[in-house]
């Protein structure tokens, strides 16, 4: 029995409203229970409308720490940087008071930064209260790309590291990504995607088992943690 709850929508506005309400409710609950909350987000174009909605939420944002599922190893001033994207579209308005903890370090190359990134995630963001994943048309999630040489290490649930350096064969830039162990440690996990092409990818993913061919399967087709899927 796979642990998936699926929410489908015909209109983007309804999807964003429902997803944002669920995220805010879970962050609020975490703040009420332990005094703070952590929100782990993804880059790409899909979450932009969600971020614009979330940043207006009446929430104690100064008690929320925001981190990333993955990052391109480039200067954060560049448009392709996920940190740049999150600061531009999420950490505005009400959400400007949130605390951002990034992955990128200009002082380190990505390979020596892997342990430091894991330490920072564990000390400053863990436990993850809410984690929002995206999915590419190639079925990658975070920066876990199909058939990558680092996937065995990234999928190993006994691997204590939260972060892993990845060099994609099919996408630009070396990346830092959360490992599967780190992703599944989150209390609430959401997968958000939109469009017919990605719906077809999702349907193929839930119908098969090869996690190396379609890394999103490592999250969708497991029994450890419930995943909430929002799409249209």
User: Is there a contact between 227 and 166 (Cβ–Cβ < 8 Å)?
Assistant: no
pLDDT digits (tens, 9 = 90+) for 86-95: 999 999 999 9
pLDDT, mean over the chain: 96
User: Is there a contact between 184 and 219 (Cβ–Cβ < 8 Å)?
Assistant: yes
pLDDT reported for residue 109: 84
Query: Percent of the chain having pLDDT more than 90?
Result: 94
What average pLDDT does this structure show over 59-85? Answer: 97
Task: Indicate the number of domains in the chain.
Answer: 1
What average pLDDT does this structure show over 37-57? Answer: 97
Q: Does 1 have pLDDT greater than 60?
A: no
For 33, what's the count of Cα atoms within 13 Å in the CB-facing half-sphere?
10
What average pLDDT does this structure show over 151-155? Answer: 98
For residue 75, the 8-state DSSP code is -
What average pLDDT does this structure show over 47-72? Answer: 98
pLDDT digits (tens, 9 = 90+) for 208-230: 999 999 999 999 999 999 999 99
Listed in sequence order, the DSSP H helices in the chain are 12-34, 48-54, 82-89, 110-124, 151-155, 180-184, 196-206, 217-220
What average pLDDT does this structure show over 125-148? Answer: 98
CATH number at residue 176: 3.40.50.1360
pLDDT reported for residue 168: 93
pLDDT digits (tens, 9 = 90+) for 103-132: 999 887 888 899 999 999 999 999 999 999
User: Is there a contact between 193 and 202 (Cβ–Cβ < 8 Å)?
Assistant: yes
pLDDT reported for residue 2: 59
Supply the range of the domain harboring residue 71: 4-231
Q: How confident is the model at residue 157 (pLDDT cuts 50, 70, 90)?
A: very high
Determine the Cα–Cα distance for residues 19 and 228; give it in Å rounded to an integer.
Answer: 10
Q: Does 71 have pLDDT greater than 50?
A: yes
pLDDT digits (tens, 9 = 90+) for 180-192: 999 999 999 999 9
pLDDT reported for residue 3: 83
């Amino acid at each position: 029995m796979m642990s998936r709850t699926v929410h489908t929508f015909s209109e983007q506005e309804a999807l964003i409203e429902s997803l944002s309400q669920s995220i805010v409710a879970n962050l609020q609950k975490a703040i009420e229970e332990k005094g703070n909350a952590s929100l782990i987000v993804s880059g790409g174009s899909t979450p932009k409308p969600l971020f614009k909605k979330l940043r207006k939420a009446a929430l104690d944002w100064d008690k929320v720490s925001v981190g990333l599922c993955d990052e391109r190893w480039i200067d954060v001033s560049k448009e392709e940087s996920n940190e740049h994207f999150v600061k531009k579209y999420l950490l505005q308005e009400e959400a400007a008071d949130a605390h951002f903890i990034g992955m990128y370090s200009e002082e380190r190359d990505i390979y020596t930064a892997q342990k430091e990134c894991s330490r920072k995630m564990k000390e400053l963001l863990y436990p993850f209260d809410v984690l929002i994943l995206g999915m590419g048309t190639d079925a990658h999630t975070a920066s876990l790309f199909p058939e990558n040489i680092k996937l065995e290490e990234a999928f190993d649930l006994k691997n204590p590291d939260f972060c892993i350096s990845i060099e994609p064969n099919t996408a630009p830039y070396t990346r830092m990504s959360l490992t599967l162990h780190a992703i599944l440690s989150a209390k609430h996990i959401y997968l958000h995607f939109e469009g017919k092409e990605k719906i077809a990818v999702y349907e193929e993913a839930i119908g098969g088992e090869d996690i190396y061919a379609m890394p999103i399967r490592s999250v969708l087709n497991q029994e450890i943690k419930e995943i909430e899927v929002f799409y249209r």
